[in-house]
Amino acid sequence: MIDLSGTALTKLSVHYVGNKGLGQEIVVSKKPQDLHDRDKAIIKDSFLSKFQEKPELFSFHHLTSLDYNEVYNYCLDALAETKDFHKKSASIAKHLHEATTHPKIKPGELYVCYFENSSVNGAFVDAIGIFKTETRTNFFDLNIEDSEIRGELKEGIDLGKFDKACLVFPTNAEKGFDVLIHDSNRGEEAVFWRETFLSVMPQANEYFQTNQFLNLTKQFIAKQIPQEFDMEKADQIDLLNKSVEYFRSNESFNKKDFEKTVFEDGGLIKSFRQFGESYSEANDFELPERFDISTPAVKKQARIFKSVLKLDKNFHIYIHGDRDLIEKGYDAAVGKHYYKIYFEEEA
């Protein structure tokens, strides 16, 4: 449980990091920013706003040893000896510059922050924040002088719209810290920040397990079932709804109980188990037979579970409940399929 409501920004260093692969420079500031308390509070609120609902935890890792993960060690040193904070922030900027070789990665400002009084599982700890802005915006600066309003168009940075970020907490240090990440980009840019620069992996906690098992189930129903079974689209959607409902109505997960409740049919269950083995092998992890269910993970996955039955370009039917209330048929007279829907009243 992470609570950032009482967190305070106490140190801030800013550097500029270009794309080394494109021959762009890095500008390392000589000293940290000297800010008023009011400015620190505004910057803190802007930077932490994206992390209020980030339940997925990551940890730094390295195939050989954490001793070789640069960001992990710079954060470890900065948290242990705060007087070297600016020096370590410069090292983080230089590491980012060395890692920035892909042509799609944009240059931008790197903000390295020292936060105090973050609550992690009831304990107050310090934290390191790393934020990168890559997009500038135009704004109109207005000043009132001698009853005249004078405006000037300027270019600046909206601190509430940073592109990439991470928060590093000193808890769970021996296993690579507890880390929250944010990335507004997708695809190669997201892989760069998470894997190339930070080198973090999701923690195998209840959020990860719930998220992965729901994703596995969604892929099985959407991809594998149509290849093996003659099942109508409405029945596939019904399985998706049953899957989400199982996770919503239970506090803990039991694989055998889930299979019996959702799939019922022995052939489906056998196919699901085989698909699960292939999924785990392809993603290099093994999901347990039992685990506590994470409500935030269920909410996230429920938003992307498609319960829409698309009929040509004319109709979309959203199926949220009882499968027995929708019936498929074929009208030979007009040569078209149809669905019959039973309901009590219009909303």
For the chain, residues with pLDDT lower than 50 are: none
Report the alpha-carbon distance of residue 12 to residue 31 in Å, rounded.
Answer: 10
Structure tokens at 279: 């999924």
Helix H or strand E encompassing 131: strand 123-133
342 HSE (CA, 13 A, CB side): 8
* DSSP 8-state code for residue 194: I
Helix H or strand E encompassing 144: strand 137-145
Contact 200, 57 (CB under 8 A): no
pLDDT score, position 230 = 86
Structure tokens at 297: 């993970």
Give pLDDT tens digits for 312-342.
666 556 666 666 667 777 677 777 777 677 7
Q: Where are the beta strands (DSSP E) in 264-314?
A: 290-292, 308-311
- Residue 95: which of 112, 82, 81 has the closest Cα? 112
Give pLDDT tens digits for 67-87.
999 999 999 999 998 899 999
